[in-house]
Amino acid sequence: MFKRIFYRQAPENETVAQAGTQWSSSAEFDEAWKRRIEAMARHIEGPGTVADFGCGMMWLKPLLAPANAYLGIDCLPRTPETIVLDLNTGSLEGIDADIAFLSGVLEYIEDVPGFVRKLKARNFRQVILSYCTLEKHPDMAARLNCNWASHESIFELLGCFLPDFHLSALDEVNNHNAIMAFSRHSP
């Protein structure tokens, strides 16, 4: 079982890297997540830099077209280029990318509307995410057993992105996950 350490605020005597040590082994990443990432990657529109929030094993990187640069963001330094960031407390000010990619990340965000406001404040033209919505997975005991910090409905998620973005795709994949692709409205 995973403990709620992925993107949480670390106690004062613990660094973000120490908090994320449980996620440091490749054995802790489910191979089934690759299929979800592949399905999500099909929604990337056009060239540009893709910010992979919660990049983990960086399974997205080899799926990108040559015209897409990759920016890995995680609570651990996966490579020397990885941006180490606690998404619950950190600022996104230094993230310069065209596309935000969040596979299995929002479940660990304590304030989803606040985090989406941070995403909307950046210049992402597209946000692609997966989320296990409350409608698809309503068993709160099971959700809490997964140590998820958020329990949003699809309507709450849509409300977070509107009116700045529109929903360009909605797919369902394994384990009750919904894939949502949002595109920013043209100014």
7: pLDDT strictly greater than 50: no
Mean pLDDT, to the nearest integer, of 17-24? 43
Distance CA 70, CA 63 (A): 10
In terms of pLDDT, which residue wins out, 15 or 57? 57
Residue 21: domain span: 16-184
Q: For residue 106, what are its two tokens?
A: 């929002």
What number of CA atoms fall less than 13 Å from residue 79's CA on the CB side?
12
Identify which has the larger pLDDT, 147 or 24: 147
Q: Name the most confidently modeled range: 72-76, 98-102, 177-181.
A: 98-102
CATH number at residue 83: 3.40.50.150
Which stretch of DSSP H or E encloses residue 167? Answer: strand 165-172
pLDDT value at 30 more than 90: no
CB 154 within 8 A of CB 172: no
The residue-averaged pLDDT of 159-181 equals 89
Q: DSSP state, 10?
A: P
The string of DSSP codes covering 63-95 is GS-TTEEEEEEESS-SSTTPEE--TTT---TT-
In a domain, 143, yes or no: yes
pLDDT at residue 21, as a whole number? 44
Alpha-carbon distance of 67 to 53, in angstroms, equals 19
- Whether 177 is in a domain gets the answer yes
Return the pLDDT at 17: 40
The residue among 71, 84, 93, 94 whose CA lies nearest residue 23 is: 84
Q: Does residue 52 sit within a domain?
A: yes
Rounded distance, CA 85 to CA 74, Å?
Answer: 6
Average pLDDT over residues 2-19: 38
Torsions phi, psi for 36 (to 5 deg): -65, -45
Residue 174 is predicted with a pLDDT of 64
Give the count of beta carbons closer than 10 Å to the beta carbon of residue 14: 12
Residue range 93-111: mean pLDDT, rounded: 95
In a domain, 3, yes or no: no
Give the predicted TM-score (pTM) of the model.
Answer: 0.83
Residue 132 placed within a domain: yes
- Decide if 82 is inside a domain: yes
- Identify whether 11 is part of a domain: no
Give the type of residue at 77. Answer: P
Take residue 29 and report the two structure tokens written for it.
């990443």
The count of structural domains within the chain is 1
First to last CA, the chain: 45
Give the pLDDT score at 14. 41
Q: Is residue 5 part of a domain?
A: no
CA 156 to chain centre: 16
